[in-house]
């Protein structure tokens, strides 16, 4: 080996050691890259060394070239593994810097809510929907005939005393119940059919437990061979769907001019499950509504032959259902529309 060759080999070793140390100690990928450029780049030290190879005798050149290339390859391997190492470290660093306190609130987007009255109406309607009942509506300013006469409550009937009626004029009232929708539906549709009528009703009565503008929902079925058992079964199904599978239904005899037989509907108290609480006045039962077979006189008024067709009807007070289901403590909350109340549903 020529002296000059020895010198160059010595230099290659020196560059190699230097580069290796620099790679190893590069603190970040930017420094590492600079190391690469400095030693391995086109203008780098190893390339410069290769260019010095012309000084060597021809026969020594291949040997030397091979040596330098080996060193270069070696350094590139070092570089790559260091690069991987640094990337990992830096990502770790980055992730650590992106630490968030996720207990901070997110952007405050308003959440709208359905009013509990509408919610109860929707809940009841959808339960009855899958029994084939569909919603029908009627006017709130109602003709006396629809609100009373057609429902077997003639002018001088004592049952009119039970409903404190708002009058608009001689022949118009604010409907006192949703029952006139029964008549509208019977006149419009030919039997058999099933209908539900939800909506506001009005009574000239206002105290802690009565609102002059409250809501009812009422269901009507007209069909052949309708019995009290059909009525009870339908209500019992509804009660289980609405309040829960363990809630029982009970009928108590009562009187409504538009049904015969008539029954008040009680359900076992959903609050205490029948054990007795304040809501059910310790009786274990809660009154939820009225029901009965459609009085043949009402069918006649609506031009339906009672010999061929019968029907049943039942109805609930929406506020009462909401009070039982959501435990609303005061009926006035329904009409105050305090957003602190409305946001709870």
Partner 1 sequence: MKVSLQWLNQYIDVSDFFNQPQVLADKITQAGLEVEDLEDPAKNLANVIVGQVKELASHPNADKLTLCQVDIGEGTLRQIVCGAKNHRQGDKVAVAIPGAVLPGDFAIKKSQIRGVDSLGMMCSEVELGLSNESAGIMILPKEAQVGTSFAEYMGLNDIIFELKVTPNRADCLSHLGLARELSALLDRPLKFPETTLKTTDKTSSSLVKLELKNSEWCPRYAGRAIFGVKVGPSPVWLKQSLEKIGLNSINNIVDVTNYVMMELGQPLHAFDATFISESKIIIDNSIKGEKFTTLDGTEIELSGDELTIRDGEKAVALAGIVGGKNSGVNEETKDIFLESAYFTAATVRKTSRRLGIQTDSCYRFSRGTDPDGVVEAMNRACHLIQQVAGGQVAKDFWDEYPLPIKKEPILVEHSYLEERLGYAVDFFDFAKWMSRLSCKVEEDSVASQCWVSAPMYRWDLWSDIDLVEEYGRLHGYDKIPEKLPSLSYEPLSEDKEYTHQKQWNQKLCEEGFLQAVNYNFVSKDFEIQLLGNEADEKTTGLVTIAEAVKISNPISEDYNVMRRRVFTGLFKNLVYNYRHGSEYGRLFETGHVFYSSGEEYKQNMHLGLCAWGQKNQLWQKEKSRPVVYDVKTAIENLLESLHIPSWQWREFPQGKVPTYLHPYQTTVLFLEGRMVGYMGSLHPSLLDDNKIRTGAAMAELDMQKIMRGQPRVPQAKAISKFPAVTRDFSFVMSSEAKVSDRIQKMKKISGSLLQKVEVFDEFTGGQLKEGERSVSFRLTFQDMDGTLNEQRLAQLQKEMLS
> Under rule CB under 8 A, which residues in 315-334 are in contact with partner 1?
334
Residues between 48 and 67 with contacts to partner 1, criterion CB under 8 A: none
Contact 191, 222 (CB under 8 A): yes
Which CB, 38 or 254, lies closer to partner 1? 254
**Parallel, antiparallel, or unpaired for β 167-169 and 193-202?**
unpaired
Q: How many angstroms separate the Cα of 225 from the Cα of each of 138, 259, 312?
A: 27, 16, 11
Taking CB under 8 A as the criterion, the residue among 23, 117, 150, 286 binding partner 1 is 117
Report the nearest approach of partner 1 to the CB of residue 274 (Å): 15
Residues between 150 and 209 with contacts to partner 1, criterion CB under 8 A: 156-159, 161-162, 166-169, 172, 174, 189, 192-195, 198, 200, 202, 204-206
**Using rule CB under 8 A, residue 285 touches partner 1:** no
Contact 175, 113 (CB under 8 A): no
Which CB, 98 or 110, lies closer to partner 1? 110
Tokens of 248: 């029982």
Report the nearest approach of partner 1 to the CB of residue 95 (Å): 23
Q: Report helix, strand or coil for 153.
A: coil
Which CB, 105 or 329, lies closer to partner 1? 105
Which CB, 13 or 134, lies closer to partner 1? 134
- CA atoms of 189 and 302, how far apart (whole Å): 10
**Using rule CB under 8 A, residue 335 touches partner 1:** yes
Report the nearest approach of partner 1 to the CB of residue 206 (Å): 5
Residues between 15 and 44 with contacts to partner 1, criterion CB under 8 A: none
Of residues 195, 147, 150, 193, the one with CA closest to residue 302? 150
**Using rule CB under 8 A, residue 293 touches partner 1:** yes
Q: Which residues, including other chains, have CB under 8 Å from residue 41's CB and lie 6 or more apart?
A: 47
Report the nearest approach of partner 1 to the CB of residue 30 (Å): 33
Residues between 96 and 115 with contacts to partner 1, criterion CB under 8 A: 104-115
Which CB, 95 or 229, lies closer to partner 1? 229
Of residues 244, 221, 243, the one with CA closest to residue 291? 221
Residues between 231 and 250 with contacts to partner 1, criterion CB under 8 A: 232-234, 236-237, 249-250
Report the nearest approach of partner 1 to the CB of residue 181 (Å): 9
Radius of gyration of the chain (CA): 44
- CA atoms of 236 and 250, how far apart (whole Å): 8
Q: Which residues, including other chains, have CB under 8 Å from residue 49's CB and lie 6 or more apart?
A: 8, 11, 12, 15, 68
């Amino acid at each position: 080996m020529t002296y000059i060759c020895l010198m160059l080999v010595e230099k290659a070793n020196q560059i190699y050691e230097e580069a290796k140390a620099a790679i190893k100690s590069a603190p970040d990928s930017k420094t590492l890259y600079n190391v690469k450029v400095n030693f391995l780049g086109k203008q780098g030290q190893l390339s410069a060394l290769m260019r010095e190879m012309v000084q060597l005798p021809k026969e020594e050149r291949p040997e030397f070239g091979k040596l330098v290339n080996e060193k270069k390859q070696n350094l590139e391997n070092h570089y790559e593994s260091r690069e991987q190492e640094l990337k990992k470290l830096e990502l770790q660093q980055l992730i650590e810097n992106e630490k968030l306190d996720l207990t901070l609130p997110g952007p405050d987007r308003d959440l709208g809510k359905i009013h509990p009255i509408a919610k109860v109406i929707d809940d009841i309607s959808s339960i009855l929907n899958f029994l084939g009942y569909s919603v029908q509506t009627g006017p709130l300013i109602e003709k006396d005939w629809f609100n009373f006469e057609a429902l077997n409550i003639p002018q001088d009937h004592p049952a009119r005393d039970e409903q404190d009626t708002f009058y608009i004029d001689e022949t118009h009232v604010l409907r006192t119940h949703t029952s006139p929708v029964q008549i509208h539906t019977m006149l419009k549709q030919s039997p058999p059919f099933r209908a539900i009528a939800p909506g506001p009703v009005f009574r000239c009565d206002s105290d802690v437990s009565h609102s002059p503008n409250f809501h009812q929902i009422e269901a009507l079925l007209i069909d052949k061979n309708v019995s009290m058992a059909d009525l009870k079964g339908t209500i019992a199904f509804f009660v289980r769907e609405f309040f829960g599978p363990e809630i029982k239904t009970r009928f108590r005899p009562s009187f409504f001019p538009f049904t015969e037989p008539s029954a008040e509907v009680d359900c076992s108290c959903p609050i205490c499950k029948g054990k007795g609480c304040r809501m059910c006045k310790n009786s274990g039962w809660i009154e939820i509504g009225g029901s009965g077979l459609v009085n043949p006189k009402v069918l006649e008024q609506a031009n339906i032959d009672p010999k061929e067709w019968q029907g049943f009807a039942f109805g609930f007070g929406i506020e009462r259902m909401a009070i039982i289901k959501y435990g609303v403590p005061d009926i006035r909350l329904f009409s105050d529309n305090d957003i602190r109340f409305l946001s709870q549903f």
